Structure 1
Amino acid sequence: MLSLGNVFNFAELEAFDQRIQERLPHQKVQYDVELKLDGLAISLWYEHGVLVRGVTRGDGETGEDITQNVKTIRNLPLQLSSQSIAIPELLEVRGEVLIPKAGFEKLNREQEHKSEKTFANPRNAAAGSLRQLDPAIAASRPLAFYAYGIAQCVPHHGLTSMHESLHWLTQIGFEIAERQWLVNSITEVEQCYQQIMSERASLSVEIDGMVVKVDNLQQQKQLGFLSREPRWATAYKFPAQAALTTVENIEWQVGRTGTLTPVARLKPVFVGGVTVSNVTLHNIGEIHRLDVRIGDTVSVYRTGDVIPKVEKVWQEFRPTDTQIVQLPAQCPVCDSPVVMPEGEALARCSGGLYCSAQRIEAIRHFVARKAMDIEGLGDRWVESLLHLNLLDNVSDIYHLHEHREQLLSIEKMGEKSVQNLLTAIENSKDTQLHRFIYALGIRGVGETTAKMLANTFQNLDALMTADLEQLKKTPDVGDITAEWIFDFFRATHNLEVIQRLLDAGITLETAKASTRQPLNGESWVVTGT
């Protein structure tokens, strides 16, 4: 399941339209405009009309199986039926799970009555409900499902447009959002935007914008996809909501690669449906650009209604005793010198693995779901293991079974907890090459780049011995990232850690070269957000 690109104003919307027109010259383009529901995107699979599987978007390729929980959603059809339409043998429907406004208010009143914690916003409540291990909890929540697209249909439904597809879904039992438009120009899209802005408060559900899609399915096929999003659709997001608060402190955090990131600790303020108390200031250059200081009054907003950001410093409210924030000379964790190479915006701790913060972040990254996926090895375990000197680097994870008695001595870590951890570690040994590459925490190598490296070099040895020119030719790898990768695999310490991991029994499923399959050459249109 792919995500969508975003636009935030009419100029950006016009640029989106211009790209469409350039790729579809001399063709009439209509746009399907829908509400951008603020919930959790899921995919539903039906076989012969019966719901058999429900999964979340996850990382775009692998999602969580939430079948038992989605079956409790009251307006979601478990069995498809229609008086006039033949039910497909296989149907995959994309849509959004959320809690309508009225249901959310009732849910929070019930939470208060039971003296339990209330939910910050409907989206968090819906996402948390779907991820409950006990389906009875999901069943007790006022969840609703709204369909927004068809990913697969066998035999093909024969429809030619998104607008038709939405109507077709309603005929076999699905609900769709309460507003849709079919328009002939990007100017009319803007008119829809202004209309829904004025109607937003009266809608039954929370939205954070609109989704604009090329309506014709054949034109969608012509336009195709980028690596993470379709070219034929975008989200037109509403302006971010802002609030005033005070900067109570500015602290420096140390990441897994040693990067020092300033974080503003704020007097808690409610913005865009959540309480915000921390905001990243990115780097010392951004601090100086904003001229933000401890004690300042600032405007905070949530970019895309997700990430909080300091928008403005109100200097007229500044206390007289504030001081300009300076970059620390020593790492706040290990006291190693802080370095900032000429031409770079980011300062770094020079302590390497001597710095406990870097070790902790490297281990957190290594065990994460998108990396080695070691379930249960959370912060509490990591801190305890570091305190016992059982973790010096990530390869030590696979030798923890040798220290079972010490693990059992950790407070509140009984036999079952220890066994679950050791089992999760053992299960993680069989993994995919791209996950292992990502887990190593190479500077500049995110998920997409790790996949490109795995697909290009096919096995770990080929990647580790690749020269600089080979790395530079890899898709999604620029010259600077290529140098970082090259240097990583030339560092003796890194090679020792990798060899120790392999000696511990880690096996890598290497990327397979493309072979001819029955569906090779076929194009599938995947719709939805």
Structure 2
Amino acid sequence: MFSYRLPALLFISTFVLTPLATANCPSWTPAQAQQEISTLRQRIAVWDRSYHRDATSMVADELYDQAQQQLQIWQGCFTDADADPAPTAATALQSARGSLALPYSQMGLSKLSETALKQWMQQHDDLWVQPKVDGVAVTLLYENGQLTQMLSRGDGLTGQNWLMHAQAIAAIPQHLQTQQATLTLQGDLYLQQPQHIQARTGGSNARSQVAGLLNRQQLSASEGQTIGLFVWEWPDGPPTMSERLTELQRLGFVDSHTYSRPLQDFAEAKHWRNHWYNSALPFASDGVVIKQSQRTINYPRSPYPPVWAVALKYPLQQALTSVTHVTFNIGRSGRITPIAHLKAVRLDDKTIRKVSLGSLTKLKKLALNTGDHVAIALSGHAIPQLKEVVWRSPQQQSIKLPSAENYHALSCWQASPDCQQQFLARLTWLSDKKTLNMHGIGAQTWQALLDAKYISQLTDWLVLSAEDLASLPSFAKKRSLQTAQAFTQAKSQSFARWLKALGAPPAVTPKATDNWQILSALTEQEWQQQRHLSRNYAQHARAFFQHPEVQAVAVNLQKHGISGF
């Protein structure tokens, strides 16, 4: 259902820290707070105009809700006692108004947490549950059985007449067999998607596609065939839910009957939410609606959500948080991976504090800066991904990028301030079980030796003894002996393993009779003709064996009597 969005347009001119300024409150100056709150308020206002006036959603509902919550928190931390109260929905969404009054308001539903829903259900009885269809809300008005109006939701009180589109949508009957003089139906126009599973594919931009069709001057019959109708309310219909559903089915609104279930308790509400979230439906949905069977509509044009129906959303697919800083992991091959560090946020059952951006290219495409507010999702319900920048902080700070040209497969063969990460990655690869197989030695061991200045060149560890290692505070006697034994064992590894440990191109496969001198003497043409490498691989092999830093390592290995050197 087209959930109601109330924009926060309250302008706060002077900010004073309130008792709510706990650990959740930013440590901003009044001027900074004014900037941040004003920026977010303006962003929400833009979303509201697009959503209500143009029926186009610029941001996912769950991100919108979190942004609204964030705004409320900030306003609770920094308030102005003299500020005017926030405007009502009717005045805040003037641009969404149409020329026609809705016979019954469509103010959306309060979205409750599981705890709040339990309490709500204890105070209401004779309850039903339906999927919360992710579509474009409309009001259908029939007079003496003939469709006379299809009104857009507008600002919830007035909307536009979309009757000309109704004629092209086969799911909307033009005439009903009813004795009721005036009949009003509220529902959602949805994109028909047979076998749509929300948990697998999410909303898939379905609502926006329908909104785009409805915003056209003319809707073709073929386009109308793609749109379905889910009637979720009959405000002037029979008094009980079962009666309304039976009559709706008779009138041809089958979805309403098919996807409505009576509820006994909260456990059943959770069951149906999980069932519809993971089952194939003909439409996208973003939660469930729990409503009373008999509801009193005393205020048909109330500017507030109804008290007899509430929503329980599906588990969040995206969480809103902000970027605190960005670091860069530089791997053994010189690949640079930006890591965005985040204000901790919960998504599913995980607490997410950082996310890999994959590459400098993606970082540049996002134009990401420190302070930006971003959407985080889980790929395959496991790996966090940064999906988009939702809005930018007015206090954002640019990120200094490393020079990509300084890092490649043949860079960083010794310790230096700019080479710490890649050099450590080279050492860690040396001890990997796929290379020299130094049991018990990993990045922590190498980092300890680097911090102690015991290693500055790639092969300095070859001369370290157990006594040398025991002098380090972090190395007990047992650890020193085990590390020295692993170093000794590594010296006896084969020439092929040593080449792999040094980072020789994967295409280089030495023969039993090969040694360093033979391979380093091969020309690019010989790599192609004698070793059957492609031109590209031959170039990489030649570059590796001829690189001065690699040759210096080879000379040192020869001095230590390593096989093949």
Q: Scaled by the length of structure 2, what TM-score is found?
A: 0.39
**Higher RCO structure, 1 or 2 (CA under 8 Å, sep 6+):** 1
Which structure: larger Rg? 2
Q: Scaled by the length of structure 1, what TM-score is found?
A: 0.41
